[in-house]
Amino acid sequence: MISLAIPSVINLYRIMSPFPYPSASPSDTHPPSRYLNRELGLLAFNRRVLAMVEDDATPLLEQLKYLCIVSSNLDEFFETRVAGLKQQLHENITQSGPDGLNPKEVYRLLSEEAHALVAHQYRLLNERVLPRLAEQGITFLRRGHWTEAQHRWARDYFLREVKPVLTPIGLDTAHPFPRILNKSLNFAVELSGVDAFGRPSSHAIVQAPRALPRFIRLPEDISECPYGFIFLSSVLHANVGDLFQGLTVEGCYQFRVTRNSELLLDDDDVSDLRLALTGELRHRQYGDEVRLEIPENCSEAMSRFLLQTFDLKETDLYRVDGPVNLVRLMQVADMVDRPDLKFSPFFPQPPRALKDNPPLFAALSKQDILLHHPFQPFTPVVQFVQQAACDPDVLAIKQTVYRAGDDSELIDALIEAARQGKEVTVVVELLARFDEEANINWASKLEDAGAHVVYGVFGYKTHAKMCLIIRREAGELKRYAHLGTGNYHVRTARLYTDFGLFTAHPEITADVSAIFMQITGLGRQESLRHLWQAPFTLHSQVLAAIDRECEYAAAGQKGHIIAKMNALTEPILIEALYKASQIGVRIDLIVRGVCLLRPGVPGLSEHIRVRSIIGRFLEHHRVYYFRHGGTHQLYLSSADWMDRNFFRRIEVCVPILDPRIKRRILEEGLRPYLRDNRQAWLMNGQGHYVRAKPARNRAAFISHLFLLKRLSFWT
């Protein structure tokens, strides 16, 4: 069994791809001091997210959400990055990364930072967020402070809703330690005494069914405040003795185990990817243990017992002052009707070309159309497929699906198009991490409706965001396309910043058609006229564009690169940026998350600036700008500047040919982020981030607020 994570896919790529994978990393010839560490960069990103909790400008219920977002991010971090690192340690891998750190050194550093991060997170919860919520009548009632009426209500709730679905398991030779689901809520109980069969009892486990809410709202007259909540863990702690009649409960402690969630597939023995993946998903909940979370008051004896049971070390143990899973608290904002404690609502407005809701094909025949989410609605993208489904002149629809969610109007429209007799082809990426099950379900429904469903190219994730519609007009076939920087996901389109381009440009749509043919069929790589495509040309084209800026700078002209993305980790490209800086090219990088490049280092990168924007929305668009002698070349892409995007994924990058749309992207997608002096974080050469502040006598400029006012109806 080999993982489809990194090593096996690189090897498979080298065998299969006609485009050569770089045989040597620049770190082989350049000192590690030129690169930062990826894992520490991920934790640094979460530090910046926590700063939104400490910002008084963030509404109170939104502060609680940011705490939950960090917990969700850390869950994935441990399930994937830490799990992979621990696997390397288990296999005694000592090879260093580009930063010169070996797995053992990385694990030590990230463990120290992760423990400090979690401690800071819970301090913010207990010392800032919960007290301020209580001042607003939103209270999480601690068991030690319950009134008599609250005790009675909690006991009644326990007897009615909780006890009937619990299965306490006493641990002895006949009852081994139960299998613990990944990230599930469990309780370890210390007991004394003898049970009904004369057996001495010391330990028991109680697993909380996932169907039970993790916190419960009390009636207002019982809670004595407008919104009073109690935790399920408190209800169970208060009544755990009912589960062990005749025994003495010496202690009861919640705990949570995080497991390795990477999927393992044998690439030599997969004849049906969907079938193999379906089988592997059943085992994801029981991967190797990587983290144990327990409450601060857990006894030393119980913590040692749990660590030994899960074969974990002290460094894998996280003691927390509160619930072991904060993610579930994300639901609180939806349960509390306090608009004054949330971000002000906004109403996305369509671009002028779509103001009167014209037929999309007629509008696109006149001009390309750009959508900027979430400030402009995602609805036209859904309507694009819906109108095609019921249009008798539409013959075929082709689309990629990476993440669509469990409930998708867009995929419903594809299903309807197939039922209407259209030729519908959908490239479903089954290996979209944590969306595998949803994508398998969609694949089945699409096939049942008569659509052609393919799973891309084995060994490469299909991460490109493309939709192609073929329509008969005046006796000829005409293509229409949508290309995006983000997923075809209605819900995240309200939360993530992304661009989507509608175009009927014959050469661009021909390129899109060629890529679909390449993914679904067999054949050699086609030469594309405009699109850059990974894994074939994207990397080399980006390097060539950087080299051209170097040539302009060397000739005494201005060289300027602006690139916006989620992550920058690819060493060869980083070296190209260092070289460009040394020649005099001005480089502005807007990188939301991990950046391994060191900016502002004299003699190396003094012309490079790196900033990260953390605000109301998750920054997600990928935009590349090259001044190119004043012609201002600009591209939208689905790809970050990472090894996996360049060499192990199918990605597209589309040039913006319409000067009007080019100006819009510059004015909305790049310049506001470079002006932001309130939610921008500036990175220095040591990898540390400092939050930007308005200069003296300068007003604060917030990019998200600027775009809301410019593009949306905002209150």
Q: Is residue 497 part of a domain?
A: yes
> What residue type is assigned to position 647 of the chain?
F
* Distances 69 to 75, 140, 682 between C-alpha atoms, Å: 10, 19, 22
Query: 3-class DSSP state for residue 582?
Result: helix
Domain residues for the domain of 636 are 533-714
Where residue 469 falls (left for φ over 0; alpha for ψ -120 to 50; beta otherwise) is beta
**Please, are residues 389 and 446 in contact by the beta-carbon 8 Å criterion?**
no
Answer with the residue of higher pLDDT: 135 or 281: 135
Q: Is residue 2 part of a domain?
A: no
**What pLDDT digit, counting tens, does each position of 342-375 carry?**
999 999 999 999 988 889 999 999 999 999 999 9
Do 462 and 605 belong together in one domain?
no
CA-CA-CA-CA torsion sign (279, 283, 288, 294): positive
Q: What is the mean pLDDT of residues 314-326?
A: 96
Do 448 and 549 belong together in one domain?
no
CATH of the domain at 621: 3.30.870.10
Please state the domain count of the chain. Answer: 3
pLDDT value at residue 67: 97
Q: Is residue 59 part of a domain?
A: no
pLDDT value at residue 28: 54
**Final residue in a domain of this structure, among 276, 310, 333:** 333
Do 500 and 359 belong together in one domain?
yes
Do 265 and 326 belong together in one domain?
yes
Do 521 and 619 belong together in one domain?
no
Percent with pLDDT over 70 in the chain: 92
Beta bridge partners of 472: 477
Set 463, 505, 607, 620: catalytic member: 463
pLDDT value at residue 430: 79
Nearest to 674 by CA among 610, 617, 605: 610
Q: Is residue 395 part of a domain?
A: yes
pLDDT band at 196 (very low <50, low <70, confident <90, very high): confident
Do 317 and 350 belong together in one domain?
no
Q: Is residue 66 part of a domain?
A: no
pLDDT over 80 at 566, yes or no:
yes
Answer with the residue of higher pLDDT: 175 or 440: 440
CATH of the domain at 271: 3.30.1840.10
pLDDT value at residue 267: 52
Report the C-alpha gap between 399 and 469 in whole angstroms.
9
The pairing of strands 560-565 and 689-691 is unpaired
Beta bridge partners of 229: 140, 217
Do 319 and 369 belong together in one domain?
no
> What residue type is assigned to position 232 of the chain?
L
Answer with the residue of higher pLDDT: 456 or 510: 510
Do 505 and 548 belong together in one domain?
no
Report the C-alpha gap between 161 and 166 in whole angstroms.
10
Beta bridge partners of 294: 319
**Final residue in a domain of this structure, among 302, 333, 364:** 333
Sheet holding 215-218, edge to edge: 138-140, 227-231, 215-218
pLDDT over 60 at 623, yes or no:
yes
pLDDT value at residue 19: 41
Q: Quick count: other Cβ atoms within 10 Å of Cβ 153? A: 20
**Final residue in a domain of this structure, among 474, 506, 527:** 527
Do 611 and 483 belong together in one domain?
no
Do 470 and 573 belong together in one domain?
no
Q: Is residue 111 part of a domain?
A: no
Known catalytic residue at 463: yes
When the pLDDT of each residue in the chain is averaged and rounded to a whole number, the result is: 91
pLDDT band at 282 (very low <50, low <70, confident <90, very high): low
Q: What does the block give as tokens for 445? A: 């429904």
pLDDT value at residue 353: 93
pLDDT band at 23 (very low <50, low <70, confident <90, very high): very low
Do 570 and 520 belong together in one domain?
no
* Distances 414 to 330, 437, 438, 629 between C-alpha atoms, Å: 32, 19, 16, 44
Report the C-alpha gap between 384 and 465 in whole angstroms.
14
Which segments of 362-475 are extended strands (E)?
Answer: 369-373, 394-401, 423-428, 452-454, 461-462, 466-473
**Please, are residues 332 and 61 in contact by the beta-carbon 8 Å criterion?**
yes
Q: Is residue 427 part of a domain?
A: yes
Report the C-alpha gap between 688 and 704 in whole angstroms.
24
Radius of gyration of the chain, Cα coordinates, nearest whole angstrom: 27
Rounded to 10 deg, the angle between the 60-76 and 103-124 helix axes is 160
Q: Is residue 120 part of a domain?
A: no
pLDDT band at 523 (very low <50, low <70, confident <90, very high): confident
Do 538 and 510 belong together in one domain?
no
**Please, are residues 657 and 686 in contact by the beta-carbon 8 Å criterion?**
no
The pairing of strands 680-683 and 689-691 is antiparallel
Percent with pLDDT over 90 in the chain: 80
Question: How many contiguous H segments (helices) and E segments (strands) does the chain have?
Answer: 23, 31
How much of the chain is in helix, strand and coil states, percent to nearest 5? 40, 25, 35
**Please, are residues 370 and 711 in contact by the beta-carbon 8 Å criterion?**
no
